Structure 1
Amino acid sequence: MTDLVPVSVQNDDLVSTLTHAHGLGPVADDWQAAQVWLDAIATRGRKNSAETVATYGYHLDKVRWFCENVHPVTPSRWTMQDVDAFCKYLADVPEDAICARDPLTGAFASRHDPGYSPFRKQPAISSQADIKRFVHAMFRAWRDMGYIHINPMALHGAGTMRKINPERAVSIDLYDMVFEAMDAEEKRTFTARQLAARDRFILIALRELGLRASELIKASMSAFYKLSDPQDKRTYWVMRIGEETSKGRKERKLPVPKVVMAALGVYREAFGMAAEPSLVEKVSLILSVKTDRTKAHASGRVIKDVESRRFFQAWLPVATRHGLYHIVKGRLEKAAKILDEIGEPERAAHLRRASTHWLRHTFAKAALLTGQDVRTVAAWLGHSDLATTMIYTEQEALDLIRASNDSRPDFLAAE
């Protein structure tokens, strides 16, 4: 008996699906089939965090946009030639396909606005590989469930795994330059002072705690709490990275440096809060200077004016990694412009390439260079494999150097 698969027939306003034997259940089209798969991934267990599912959702948006705006063939009907067309498009996304931005605020167009696209910039080679692996995995799951006969990416492979580039880090002097640029900036308004305090905390937290962008964005103020050590009788501040926000769903509890707590206190006070957070606070850690117009008073009445919403701390959160990325890149760009002005274009270019994740790399390299044990650094970063942490070191080369010196002294070029 021949297995049958769904055949989607698409007209201008009509989508009809012939539902046959497959394991995805009743789905109207490929996008619902993809969502069934994503829902299944979310329930697999600890290795699949909400962040992973969200990232897959971003990749799916790109595939759908490509099918609806560039190449009108739905994924279940793709052949190798369609896969090639998609890969070529990823490698050279046209400028007019990059998401539009507000010229004043720099905010990207939302999904239903004119000029929207899920492509916010030309995907880097590593990002292209991530997207291809996602599509390959989706096709493999569809094939296993009988939704399609073959995986059209079977001969392409799943793409090269993303590798950490330890050189993507910001040196201490460049890091300090970012703060110098912030200090030199005029802060005449209440909002400008809020933004300066918040952004300083963001940069310090990323650099000093080694956080992923998603871990910072999804944290609440109550992530910071006090922990007493019965051995030395002292009380320390700790930041909890919950399993619901961390990659791999592995909870971490990080001791907080003084500089982070100092920056957090200034930031909180700028937003009308006490300097120290409490365990009962549910407000997001990273706040927008915009207020929530739907916020209600204890009486149940909506708070209508901005000043009152500020008084009651009705701040909206910065809820996405893209939002955090935009904040960090904006601060790096201002410092880069100063470097251009003083005749240091190479350092300016390096700073412009930096991103939120570069600050995590900066933490890792600095921690290892100052002699911290690699296992401690791995636990701090949330690495399940020590080999990942070792990438930030030169240990392999050092082992070879020492072995060579033991067997053949003075053989190696050295100073």
Structure 2
Amino acid sequence: MLHPFLAQLEPYLTQLTQQGKSPHTLAAYRRDLLELANLLPPHAAQPTRADMVRALKQLSQRGQHPRSLARKLTAWRQFCEYLLNMQLLNTNPVATLKAPKPPERLPKAIEREKINHLIDQDMPDDDALQIRDHAMVELLYGSGLRLSELYALNVDDVLLDAGWVQVSGKGSRERQVPLTRQSVAALADYLAVRVVVADETALFTSQHGRRLCTRQMAKRLAAWAQKNQSNQHISPHMLRHSYASHLLQASRDVRAVQELLGHQSLSTTQIYTKLDFEHLAQVYDDTHPRAKRKK
């Protein structure tokens, strides 16, 4: 026998069908609501917030992932809103409920020796695209730039003589980030072969002389890693994580790294302090991840 709380389940699902919801979504909503009904008091046509809290706790104790709980909570909340609009429910008992936070996903970091070995591969002197890609990698790892920040760079933002790059980050917040000597050298090599059309201000351009889009930048990085025989997929975000992780491992100055990364909140930077670096432990003679290089 159907739980009294679900008396309007079929009309509700019919409404969702009329709204164009997929069969997969409908099946998920039905499943989540039937699961909820099994956790409610048998005759609770008007479940309370306490009833919903108990149901959520039971699912959590069964080991369900916080993301699954969040999805179920969304299904419950929307069904209750439907009943509320139909004047079949006095209040929405899950209106203010929040699912448990998912465990913090720690960023992946590439071992310092490995990424330095990849970047230090010999570069062909006559391949303009490889020279450009090498300069992009040096900036992503050497200065910890976001892909969007790399894309937005203009030629005038790079001050090779001063060893700085002017970066426009999230929320249009600008910051100056130091360049490594390797980045300065790589950028100088690239600028000598950079292809550009009239009035194009972009630092990194395609072979047609226009600003290189973020998608192409990511694809070129993947091709660069494959060409250098990396057995690990390398993304722009991974290079930024590696920069921050290696720098924090060496300096332990969270606020300095926060400023370099352009993080508005210190807590965003502090996630890097939770990484397990036992397999990365090395003796550094400088705090920068590009300090030790082949001679």
TM-score, scaled to structure 1: 0.41
Task: Name the aligned partner's letter for residue 238 of structure 1.
Answer: W
Q: Which runs of 5+ in 2 are unaligned?
A: 1-14, 30-66, 82-94, 277-295
- Tell whether 2:185 aligns with 1:262: yes
Change (3 A) 1:212 1:80: same
Alignment of 1:366-385 (within 5 A): 366-385=246-265
The sequence identity of aligned pairs, in percent, is: 24
Cα displacement (A) at 1:82: 5.9
Name the counterpart of 2:285.
none
- Tell whether 2:155 aligns with 1:214: no
Alignment of 1:274-285 (within 5 A): 283-285=201-203
Cα displacement (A) at 1:163: 4.8
Alignment of 1:12-411 (within 5 A): 77-78=19-20, 83=25, 163-166=104-107, 168-179=108-119, 182-183=121-122, 187=124, 190=126, 193-225=127-159, 236-242=162-168, 246-271=169-194, 283-289=201-207, 291=208, 315-319=209-213, 321-336=214-229, 348=231, 351-352=232-233, 354-394=234-274
Aligned mates of 1:160, 1:80 — CA distance in 2: 28
Cα displacement (A) at 1:362: 0.8
Please, what is the CA RMSD of the aligned residues?
4.0
Residue-by-residue CA offset, 1:104-139 (whole Å, 9 max, x unaligned): xxxxxxxxxxxxxxxxxxxxxxxxx8xx99xx9xxx
CA contact (8 A) 1:178 1:331 kept: no
Cα displacement (A) at 1:271: 2.3
Aligned mates of 2:241, 2:24 — CA distance in 1: 37
SS in structure 1 opposite 2:163?
strand
Cα displacement (A) at 1:255: 2.2
Cα displacement (A) at 1:332: 1.3
Residue-by-residue CA offset, 1:144-168 (whole Å, 9 max, x unaligned): xxxxxxxxxx9998997795523x1
Change (3 A) 1:84 1:357: farther
Task: Name the aligned partner's letter for residue 363 of structure 1.
Answer: Y
CA contact (8 A) 1:221 1:282 kept: no
Task: Name the aligned partner's letter for residue 375 of structure 1.
Answer: R
Cα displacement (A) at 1:336: 3.3
Aligned mates of 2:244, 2:117 — CA distance in 1: 20
Aligned mates of 2:119, 2:205 — CA distance in 1: 20
User: Segments of 4+ in structure 1 off by > 4 A?
Assistant: 73-76, 78-82, 84-87, 154-164
CA contact (8 A) 2:109 2:238 kept: yes
Larger radius of gyration between Structure 1 and Structure 2 = 2
Cα displacement (A) at 1:366: 1.4
Cα displacement (A) at 1:74: 10
Aligned mates of 1:375, 1:75 — CA distance in 2: 51
Aligned mates of 2:99, 2:216 — CA distance in 1: 29
Task: Name the aligned partner's letter for residue 194 of structure 1.
Answer: A
More helix, by proportion? 2
Aligned mates of 1:265, 1:76 — CA distance in 2: 60
Aligned mates of 2:20, 2:100 — CA distance in 1: 18
Change (3 A) 1:324 1:197: same
Cα displacement (A) at 1:327: 0.7
Change (3 A) 1:164 1:204: farther
Aligned mates of 1:264, 1:240 — CA distance in 2: 14
SS in structure 2 opposite 1:183?
coil
Change (3 A) 1:179 1:371: closer
SS in structure 2 opposite 1:380?
helix
More strand, by proportion? 1
Aligned mates of 2:28, 2:185 — CA distance in 1: 48
Aligned mates of 2:152, 2:106 — CA distance in 1: 25
Cα displacement (A) at 1:77: 1.6
Change (3 A) 1:79 1:286: same
Aligned mates of 2:251, 2:236 — CA distance in 1: 24
Q: Which runs of 5+ in 1 are unaligned?
A: 1-72, 88-128, 144-153, 227-234, 274-280, 292-314, 338-347, 397-415
Task: Name the aligned partner's letter for residue 236 of structure 1.
Answer: A
